[in-house]
Structure 1
Amino acid sequence: MSTGSGADSAPAPDHDNDATGATHAAPAPQAHAAAAAAKPRKGTFSSLRIRNYRLFATGQVVSNTGTWMQRIAQDWLVLSLTGSSAAVGITTALQFLPMLLFGLYGGVIADRLPKRKLLLLTQSAMGLTGLALAVLTLTGQVQVWHVYLVAFLLGLVTVVDNPARQSFVSEMVGPDDIRNAVSLNSANFQSARLVGPAVAGVLITAVGSGWAFMLNGLSFIAPIVGLLMMRPSELHQGKVVPRGKGQLREGLRYVAGRPDLIWPIVLVGFIGTFGFNFPIWLTAFVDKVYDSGAGTYGLLNTLMAAGSLAGALLAARRGTSRLRLLVGAALVFGVLEIAASLAPTFWLYAVLLVPIGMCGLTINVTANSSVQLATDPAMRGRVMSLFMMVFMGGTPLGAPLVGWITDAYGARIGFLSGGAISALAAVGVGLFLARAGGLRLKIDLRRGHRHLAFVPREGAGARRDRVTAAA
């Protein structure tokens, strides 16, 4: 699933305020580089040495597999009931609409309540939504509005579940292992994505979508058992913020004053709104361009998951999360989507989904860990709820529009438009970050020199050090 938060009892991560810049000036970029170089690189699976995290990860891989089974079955069920890519987009939009409407309030709740108990409630509720859809489908009563309703209810639960999970991971592993745990969570999710779509394709073809929904509902038993088996004494207990007025506005003001937070959030907002509409594009390509069925849809999702898994494992070995990597991955992601939209053959299209998945995962992990490590632990629930609200909450705005473009102008134009917007957003945010960090683009065509590089602009002040170091 996703990522973590800070803990008062653990040593502070290496950023301002020993974490945030709330009270201390940011150290010089050279100090950051020296500190990063001094740290030994952790193993790819270092977070798994922690018992509580192992229990969490084991439960999540089971429920994630069920989640991917339901996603594939749900998309295919809606397409079967309506024959419309726009209807698939509406389903996706309804699932993420609560995040757009109430996402920030979910972060306030996550900051106020114990994360483990909160997750027991949310994971149980998510399992019940899967079982409800299974009963409707297996009894032959399901209609498209039922799917819409279940998607919306699942989205309501996710409003609280997401920031709670974001904040709980570092309570299990501590701040020194946040980057590794974020990457392993993504690897966990993408490993399930390799299995879930393939199993869903077989189930849909053999016995129908209902059994995929049933298995998803039952899969949530695993994370619930894992949470119950944890040792609370081994958790790095996060700070519980007391109830008070103005906490939502406080979180927004905190982000607004931090270029190293706001611009990564803006970038993932564009990518999430316009570049991550794969349920719409893949169903449209399979149905309209390649005239195939659910098995091919599952195959394409599996290929994308293979790339995402590779990206997650590479990220787990990476010692730092730099903003230049985020911007570069977003630019390549957009260019690859454009290339895939124009691919003349099925297999070229399918192969391009692998690096698209790798770049998409790199964007997610780099933005997620960069924002978390730059945020005060007491603010992390609210900041991460804003991050997830922008990343996931943009889908209700983008999915119906992208679905309409795909229906009206074809799958290729729909996919191309998403890639073009993602690439332009990467260029724009990269320029803003360079400006905020006091950097300029230097072009050097001499042999043996870097042809393109960002270098400090004359007169750039110390107030920009934080962004320069993060970049």
Structure 2
Amino acid sequence: MRRLNSAKSTASWADAVQPARPTLAAAATPRMPGLDRCPRPAYSLRRLFPTPPPTEIRVIVSPATPAVSLWRRPGLLAYMGSWACSSAGLAMQQLLLVWLLAGVLALPADRVGPLQAAIGLPGVIIMLWGGANADRTDARAILTRVFGAAALVPFGLVLALELGGLNVWTVTVWGLGISAALSFSSPAQQAVLNRIAGRDLQRGVTAATAISMFTYMIGLRVAGQLDSFGLRQVLLAQSLCLAAAALWIRRIGSQPANDGEAGAPAWRRIVDGFRASYRQRAVFDAMTVNFVSSIFNAGAFFTVLPFIVLRVYDGDVELLSWLMIMFFAGAVFSNLIMLRFMPFQQPGRWFVVLQLSRILVLFLIWIEPAWWLVVTASVAWGLNMGVTTTLARAIVQEAAEPQTRGRVMSVFGIGLLGAPLIGAIILGWIVEEYGALAGLVPGMAASVLLFVYSMAATGLWRYRSA
């Protein structure tokens, strides 16, 4: 609807649509009996031209609507470069960790799962600490220091290799170092994205997720060449990625604190993050569903899938890396499609419905089909994960209060990081007791229960984006 530029034009347009005044002759004409009892139609501008919905008003005439394209926002490209490099380093760590434990050191599944949990568990507490700091200090300075320190960690495992000390302890220390650094940096990364993307947050989250998953595939491909390149070269590549992340993030402007309680103790700020997450209904619902889903689905991907490749299909680390690449290719594709149609007015509905679609994907892998069908199912699994994870993150980020957003995102990050660790323990035991394919069954059951819970006990179906 075109806006009118002056009161004069508005008045003339209003006069044009008003009914003509009756003439004197018409006024003198006698009326039919009972005619005065019939209600007259209300000829008004409000009736003829009803007010558009509130969302339409915000998009069309709100002065707060961003006039700058997402990709032209200052600092966005540097942020995406840092996010991409850190994602590649994380991908190398996740693939190398599980393969060094299961493939090189030949540990059983019921030991690999608890070790994965032990390596990731400190990151849960560290992420809470990082969330408290993300609201209190310059997030750019935090990320520069953390990525710079993380770039030195792979050299410790290289030194252990040179001294002939590759064992469970050295691999665990290396895993702890990378996990702690990336966990501490995650809330600060989310806080920086919120300040750069502004009101275009849904598209910002989706673009960042797509880029990170694309570079995640590159990191998986590099780590998958472990047998060809050698562990030393892969670790050096990981160090370069983390160093590049530190250099990229230095290119954005300073990110001042966004919290008026900067002097509060860290433990109180962490507690406030949990309270804020619980207080906001949309945030709590999205976190709950995503956390339970990640226990059995992300846990299955990181713990069960390597043993399916190793034991059922007699594969190696390169075959596992290709399967993971196909998974994340599906995730990238789904995020690019979402980027075309965003912003969604009701993202919670897609998030709820897609909980069910995961059942078919896991079922196809569970029946032990031909390898090409496993690859196809992995792509579909990635499509599903790309949508659900991105929507959950977008709902939480846009619904969280600005002054506690860093702490809320650290609580959300706990779900992404901690849930697969719980799943690693549970599913690792199931794999060792009942076989690799049995580890997929809990994920199918959880998907059904989460759909029912989301429809019956949450407000996700009715959630409307701001």
2:173 pairs, out of 135, 149, 165, with 149
C-alpha distance in structure 1 between counterparts of 2:248 and 2:92, whole Å:
21
Aligned match of 2:262 in 242, 248, 255?
A: 242
Measured in 2, the distance between the counterparts of 1:38 and 1:342 equals 54
Task: Give the alignment partner of residue 116 of structure 2, picking from 92, 101, 104.
Answer: 92
* Counterpart in the other structure of 2:442: 417
For the 8 Å contact 1:64–1:193, the answer to whether it is kept is yes
1:390 aligns with 2:376: no
Name the amino acid aligned to 1:430: M
2:76 to 45, 53, 61: 53
- What is the Cα deviation at residue 37 of structure 1? 8.4
What is the rounded CA distance, in whole Å, between the counterparts of 2:124 and 2:94 in structure 1? 20
Equivalent residue for 2:232, pick from 210, 213, 216: 210
- Determine whether 1:267 maps to 2:267: no
1:145-172 deviation digits (Å, cap 9, x = unpaired): 222222223333334211111101122x
Q: Shift of residue 217 of structure 1?
A: 1.2
After alignment, is 282-291 or 189-198 more displaced? 189-198
What is the distance in 2 between the residues matched to 1:103 and 1:72? 21
1:67-119 deviation line (CA, Å, top 9, x unaligned): 32332222211112034233432343234212434543332122111100011
1:2-151 equivalence runs, <5 A = 31-32=54-55, 35=58, 46-79=69-102, 80-151=104-175
Secondary structure of the 2:165 match is coil
Shift of 1:371: 0.9
In 1, are the aligned partners of 2:334 and 2:386 still within 8 Å (CA)?
A: yes
- The structure with higher relative contact order (CA 8 Å, sep 6+) is 1
Opposite residue 262 of structure 2, the aligned amino acid is P
* Distance verdict in 2 for CA 1:37–1:231, change over 3 Å: closer
Q: Secondary structure at the match of 1:394?
A: helix
State the secondary structure of the residue aligned to 2:453.
helix
- The match for 1:188 is 211
The 1:411–1:109 alpha-carbon spacing in structure 2 relative to 1, beyond 3 Å, is: same
Shift of 1:257: 2.6
Query: CA-to-partner distance for each residue in 1:29-71, whole Å, 9 max, x for gaps?
Result: 95347646889xx9xx953323411122223323422332332
- With over 3 angstroms needed to count, the CA separation of the structure-2 counterparts of 1:33 and 1:263, relative to structure 1, is farther
CA, structure 1 residues 295+387, in 2 after alignment: closer, same or farther (shift >3 Å)?
same
Match of 1:176 in 2: 199
Aligned mates of 2:110, 2:60 — CA distance in 1: 49
Deviation of 1:271 after TM superposition, in Å, equals 1.6
**Distance in 1 (alpha carbons) for counterparts of 2:163 and 2:445:** 43
Q: Distance in 1 between matches of 2:368 and 2:53?
A: 44
CA 1:156–1:368 in structure 2 vs 1: closer, same or farther (change >3 Å)? same
Query: 1 CA distance for matches of 2:356 and 2:75?
Result: 37
For each residue in 1:332-381, what CA deviation from the matched residue of structure 2 results, as whole angstroms up to 9, or x when unmatched? 12442233222421111111100111111111110111111111110101
Structure 2, unaligned runs of 5 or more: 1-51
**Worse-superposed segment, 212-221 or 338-347:** 338-347
Q: Is the 8 A contact 2:154 2:238 kept in 1?
A: yes
**Amino acid in the other structure paired with 1:64:** S
Count of aligned residue pairs for this structure pair: 406
Partner of 2:199: helix, strand, or coil?
helix
What is the RMSD of the two structures over their aligned residues, measured on CA atoms?
Answer: 2.8
Cα distance in 1 between the residues matched to 2:407 and 2:256:
19
Task: Report the residue type matching 1:190 in the other structure.
Answer: M
User: Percent identity among equivalent residues?
Assistant: 23
Q: Any stretches of 5+ residues in structure 1 without a counterpart?
A: 1-28, 438-453, 455-466
TM-score, normalised with respect to structure 2:
0.80
- The AA in structure 2 aligned to 1:243 is G
SS at match of 1:426: helix
**Distance in 1 of aligned mates of 2:148 and 2:129:** 20
Measured after TM superposition, the shift of residue 216 of structure 1 is 0.1
Distance 2:372 2:61 in 1: 45
The answer to whether the 8 A contact 2:97-2:175 is kept is no
* Contact 2:139 2:192 (8 Å CA) reproduced: yes
